[in-house]
Amino acid sequence: MWIGSQKAMEALGVKIAACLRAGDCVFLIGDLGAGKSVLARAIGRALGVAGPMPSPSFGLLIPHEGRIRVNHFDLYRLEDYEEFLAAGLEEALLDECAVSLVEWPEILGGQAPVPRLEVRIAHTGEPDAREVSLLCIGMEDRSCEF
């Protein structure tokens, strides 16, 4: 799907949030500057997070309280799944009372949780436009309107 602006990316975040339940995971996949953090903040806001939602780049995980707790991960600095485990992040990722938003999830590989939504964001060559694809895994029983 074509997303033409940051405002449109934020609107997509609201639609995604409407489809999420506690225990779900959203993988945000894309290059630096693609819009992963913008989308994560929009999802968080739509789930009732009121305070600031900075990128958790250095802390790896920032939990936020909302109508549903939101665990926001940024795994960019981790080398592999073993490092993820050593950092003690698995429990938060599998938290059945939270939605997990995961930037740079590639290191999870075959350990990726279900249900999850994989969101791939790609630059288009236009400054604010993005191409976004969505893949629902283990969420087939829902009628999500993206």
* Residue range 6-37, pLDDT digits in tens: 999 999 999 999 999 999 999 999 998 899 99
Q: What pTM does this model have? A: 0.93
What is the CATH number for 44? 3.40.50.300
pLDDT of residue 57: 78
> 146 lies in a domain?
no
Structure tokens at 88: 């003690």
pLDDT of residue 33: 86
- 14: containing domain: 2-137
> 143 lies in a domain?
no
- Tell me how far apart the alpha carbons of residues 112 and 123 are, in angstroms, rounded to a whole number: 25
The answer to whether residues 115 and 137 touch, using CB atoms and an 8 Å cutoff, is yes
> 42 lies in a domain?
yes
Domain count, the chain: 1
* 70-128 pLDDT, tens digit each: 999 999 999 999 999 999 999 999 999 999 999 999 999 888 888 999 999 999 988 88
> 145 lies in a domain?
no
> 28 lies in a domain?
yes
pLDDT of residue 113: 87
Beta bridge partners of 61: 73
> 144 lies in a domain?
no
Measured from the Cβ of residue 30, the count of other Cβ atoms closer than 10 Å reads 19
Residue 63: is the preceding peptide bond cis (ω within 30°)?
A: no
Distances (CA, A) of 51 to 12, 27, 48, 70: 20, 22, 9, 12
> Residue 95: which of 142, 124, 125, 61 has the closest Cα?
61
Q: Which residues contact 44 (CB under 8 A, 6 or more apart)?
A: 53, 64, 66, 70, 72, 101
